[in-house]
Amino acid sequence: MPTLSGGLSDWRCMQKPPRRHGPDVSIEKTWADLANNIREIQNHNAPNLSFEENHRFAYNMVLHKQGEMLYKGVKQLVSENLDHLASTQVVPAFPSGASDETVQSQEAEMLLKALRNIWDDHTSNMVRLGQILKYMDRVYAKSADVPEIWDVGLNLFLKHIIRSPIKEHLVTAILTQIQFERDGYGVNRSAIKGCVDVFLTLEDTNGLTVYKRDLEPALLRESQTFYESEGVKLLQSCDAPEYLRRVESRFESEDSRTHHYLSHNTAPALRQILQEHLLTSHLNAVISMETSGLDAMIDLNKTNDMARLYHLFITVPTGLMCLKRALKDSVRRRGDAINQASSGIEGGDGDGQLTGPKSRPAASLGAQTLTLALKWVQEVLDLKDLFDKIWKEAFSSDRELESNLNEAFETFINLNDRSSEFISLFIDDNLKRGLRGKTDTEVDVVLDKTITVFRYITEKDVFERYYKGHLAKRLLLGRSVSDDAERGMLAKLKVECGYQFTQKLEGMFHDMKISEDTMKAYRTHLSQTVAPTIDISVIVMTSTFWPMAHPTSTCTLPLDMIKTSKSFEQFYLSRHSGRRLTWQPSLGNADVRVTFKTKKHDLNVATFALVILLLFEDLGADEFMTYEEIKQATSIADSELQRHLQSLACAKFKILKKHPAGREVDPSDSFSFNADFSSSLQKIKISTISSKVESGEERKETKDRIDEERRHQTEACIVRIMKDRKHMTHNDLINEVTRQLATRFQPNPLNIKKRIEGLIEREYLERCDDRKSYNYMVIRILLVWTQLTDMTRHELRTQTCTIISHTVFYTCILMILQRSNIDIFPDSYFSAGSSLYLTRSRHYLTSSSPR
């Protein structure tokens, strides 16, 4: 009925109201009764009192303008009661000053409980008073602008109880209890919470809670001192895992403390103190502890400890940095150890030849390099596995740490300048090995992993070169596990490095397939004509795809073999005019049936070895041939000849006898046919003793070729970019080139600059007037077709390269013409070989002025 009660102030002037306790009962009497009753309420006698009566007392006093008297009177009564409670309950609970900790704790608990008791008592009294004095709150307190009686109660409690020395005793008691709990003893948490809650409820005039004003600063001060010494103490007494465990439990216990009986507002400040004194100041000391730090954890595979370390460390800003550094160091150290192990034998490699017969023979050196390579890659893979596992299980797959780890791997892998070779050897071995036991899927898993290591290599072009060499050997000798596995690997490389990277490799596969078809056609052809006496199988390799461009080692073939090869040559050239075939006997092998005294054997030997063997065909049983004679007859180069003689005379199957006997072949030796040779096997494969995987000289050559190829690539890249942009500043150009080439190798800015100079000289670019940028020069091509074809034909004929398809060259020119007459510089589409022709052919083209 709110509308009705609004008219309260009007009623007196209208009509005399009916009253029971009107002015006829004196105000003094009313107050005396009410005060009496209030004391009774404070003595817990409310159930014996009538609410209605007391409510009406207060109502009447307010109604008769005695609100102020009532208000002050009640205040007075409450104050008196509070003083009484303090002196009877709190003061007796003050600590006795005992030195025993347990007693101190008990006393503190008593004090806190006493405070809570009088608080509960006081508040329930205030609730009751508030109920009977509600009319006063409503009418008097509002108009007189004084706080309601409940708030008065809180203020009085603050004034009469939370004061010196009670306040200090309370704060000390709470701190004592917390310290007691930190030391590992049990305390009555609810007692502390009771008191803390009171502190949190009471506010001083500034709106600041007693908790915030008096307790929290003292608490934080105390915690700071405690954890400062605690950190130092733990560091001295614990190893790293134990330290981390303790610290973690400290964090947890402080968390539960703030959660259970302190304010949650204190949690961040407290955490900060812990982080500062237990973590930030000891990060390095903990992570690098001699026998138990991060390194030891990695060694002992303590995933849980590392996970703990990670979770604690990332809570502080410097933690991740510290962890990253330690991880990097660890990877680097392990990687360096692996590199060290692989370079240990490498040193002996270079001068192996010089130190004489005592040093390892060439064959075992090669094998050693292979083992070394396999060991190196395997160890790198194991290391990668190890850190991947740690990263996933302990470091929650943290992205930042991943890139950090990758960086570390990249650094140490690239520190080993043979990493590309090793990885290629490893892949080679796996693709060959597959025949012996491993299933395709197993090989696939290994190769997948290898790719992850491959990713770290910055000089991918070096890898490509090695891979090409190894692939060529696998294809020619038919040693691949399976075509699928090879193509799978190729696909993986393609995914990693793009189309350009694998183009030539794919070309090699293509050649293999084409050769197969050619051979089929050739056989059909032979069946229609007179076939030569020797059966021949030829693989035609496009010279630019295959890595066999070293000066070809040749030999004088016996007449029969020459006939056979000529027959194929005729057949082939009749099908493909304008091509040129160069025989590579050093890559071939032959099956030959040899009659020994006991029985006949089928031998599989290298082509060179066959040529040597054939020399003995017409010789008597006891006749000799000296090294020099053999050399003259075959005209095989010394190194090759030694190698093949060694495999025929000094290896497992001794087809030839060497005089004098021995492991090494010397130019003064002589040889005879070993007619007494016998073996239980019908078919025997005479494997050629392999030359070293790569000698120092070869490696240098490889390097030179790589450098040359890089020059071409850099130029091609510069031209590609400039063609697209037309104008660019020097720095932009360098950056762009570096970025584009980064997938293949790490270009040196100085080299790029040199290439730019070269291109300016050849009028592909021009320097702008500001000296800081370049323009692309457009070249118009006017082509005198007949002249070009004649001259290029001549040019091509004189080339020494194996097979050159000049139609490829024509196609290039035509393509260029179709593509708006611009740019005839090597694009990535053209192999290095054909690009050479293109640059030269500029002389045959009339170039008009730019722009």
Residues in contact with other proteins by CB under 8 A are 1, 4-5, 7-8, 11, 14-15, 17-18, 20, 46-52, 54-56, 59, 124, 127-128, 131-132, 134-135, 138
Name which of 119 and 616 has its Cβ closer to other proteins: 119
Name which of 134 and 699 has its Cβ closer to other proteins: 134
| Minimum distance of other proteins from residue 58's CB (angstroms) | 11
| Minimum distance of other proteins from residue 18's CB (angstroms) | 7
**Local structure of residue 139 (DSSP, 8 states):** I
CA 515 vs CA 539, 580, 635, 727: distances in Å: 5, 15, 29, 47
**Local structure of residue 758 (DSSP, 8 states):** H
Name which of 54 and 424 has its Cβ closer to other proteins: 54
In the structure encoding, which two tokens stand for residue 427, read together?
Answer: 């892949």
Size of the chain, expressed as the number of residues it contains:
851
Name which of 1 and 681 has its Cβ closer to other proteins: 1
Tell me how far apart the alpha carbons of residues 275 and 538 are, in angstroms, rounded to a whole number.
74
Q: For residue 44, how many other CB atoms are within 10 A of its CB?
A: 12
Name which of 52 and 145 has its Cβ closer to other proteins: 52
The radius of gyration computed from the CA coordinates of the chain, to the nearest angstrom, equals: 48
Sign of the alpha-carbon torsion through 704, 708, 710, 714:
positive
Name which of 132 and 196 has its Cβ closer to other proteins: 132
Tell me how far apart the alpha carbons of residues 601 and 613 are, in angstroms, rounded to a whole number.
14
| Minimum distance of other proteins from residue 5's CB (angstroms) | 5
Tell me how far apart the alpha carbons of residues 566 and 578 are, in angstroms, rounded to a whole number.
16
| Minimum distance of other proteins from residue 49's CB (angstroms) | 6
Structural element, H or E, at residue 593: strand 589-595
Name which of 46 and 171 has its Cβ closer to other proteins: 46
| Minimum distance of other proteins from residue 124's CB (angstroms) | 7
With CA atoms as reference, report the closest residue to 58 among 109, 131, 147, 107: 131
Tell me how far apart the alpha carbons of residues 110 and 685 are, in angstroms, rounded to a whole number.
98
**Local structure of residue 597 (DSSP, 8 states):** S
Structural element, H or E, at residue 594: strand 589-595
Tell me how far apart the alpha carbons of residues 188 and 841 are, in angstroms, rounded to a whole number.
97
Collect all residues with Cβ–Cβ distance below 8 Å to 707 and sequence separation of at least 6.
Answer: none
Q: Dihedrals φ, ψ of 548, to 5°? A: -100, 45
Name which of 124 and 253 has its Cβ closer to other proteins: 124
| Minimum distance of other proteins from residue 173's CB (angstroms) | 29
Tell me how far apart the alpha carbons of residues 108 and 114 are, in angstroms, rounded to a whole number.
10
For residues 175 and 218, the answer to whether their CB atoms sit within 8 Å is yes
Given the structure tokens 């240990």, which residue do they identify? 344
| Minimum distance of other proteins from residue 270's CB (angstroms) | 36
List own/partner pairs for 655-658 with CB under 8 A and 24 or more apart: 655/594, 655/603, 655/613, 655/686, 656/612, 656/613, 656/616
Name which of 5 and 96 has its Cβ closer to other proteins: 5
In the structure encoding, which two tokens stand for residue 473, read together?
Answer: 């050997």
Name which of 67 and 585 has its Cβ closer to other proteins: 67
| Minimum distance of other proteins from residue 60's CB (angstroms) | 10
| Burial (0-12, 13-18, 19+ Cβ within 10 Å), 597 | exposed
| Minimum distance of other proteins from residue 135's CB (angstroms) | 7
Q: What angle do the packed helices 27-42 and 101-132 form, to 10 degrees?
A: 150
| Minimum distance of other proteins from residue 11's CB (angstroms) | 6
| Minimum distance of other proteins from residue 240's CB (angstroms) | 54
Collect all residues with Cβ–Cβ distance below 8 Å to 42 and sequence separation of at least 6.
Answer: 77, 81, 125
| Minimum distance of other proteins from residue 160's CB (angstroms) | 23
| Minimum distance of other proteins from residue 29's CB (angstroms) | 18
Supply angle C-alpha 92, 94, 96, rounded to 5.
105
Name which of 58 and 737 has its Cβ closer to other proteins: 58
Name which of 51 and 829 has its Cβ closer to other proteins: 51
Name which of 121 and 248 has its Cβ closer to other proteins: 121
| Minimum distance of other proteins from residue 17's CB (angstroms) | 6
| Burial (0-12, 13-18, 19+ Cβ within 10 Å), 428 | buried
For residues 265 and 220, the answer to whether their CB atoms sit within 8 Å is no
| Minimum distance of other proteins from residue 133's CB (angstroms) | 10
Name which of 134 and 212 has its Cβ closer to other proteins: 134
Residue 609, amino acid: A
Name which of 122 and 504 has its Cβ closer to other proteins: 122
Strand partners, 673: 656
| Burial (0-12, 13-18, 19+ Cβ within 10 Å), 520 | exposed
Residue 688: strand, helix, or coil: coil
For residues 627 and 667, the answer to whether their CB atoms sit within 8 Å is yes
| Minimum distance of other proteins from residue 46's CB (angstroms) | 5
Tell me how far apart the alpha carbons of residues 705 and 252 are, in angstroms, rounded to a whole number.
63
Name which of 47 and 207 has its Cβ closer to other proteins: 47
| Minimum distance of other proteins from residue 36's CB (angstroms) | 15
Tell me how far apart the alpha carbons of residues 176 and 193 are, in angstroms, rounded to a whole number.
14
Strand partners, 604: 591, 685
Name which of 36 and 639 has its Cβ closer to other proteins: 36
Name which of 132 and 443 has its Cβ closer to other proteins: 132
For residues 832 and 709, the answer to whether their CB atoms sit within 8 Å is yes
| Minimum distance of other proteins from residue 121's CB (angstroms) | 14
Tell me how far apart the alpha carbons of residues 787 and 800 are, in angstroms, rounded to a whole number.
22
In the structure encoding, which two tokens stand for residue 767, read together?
Answer: 């320097």
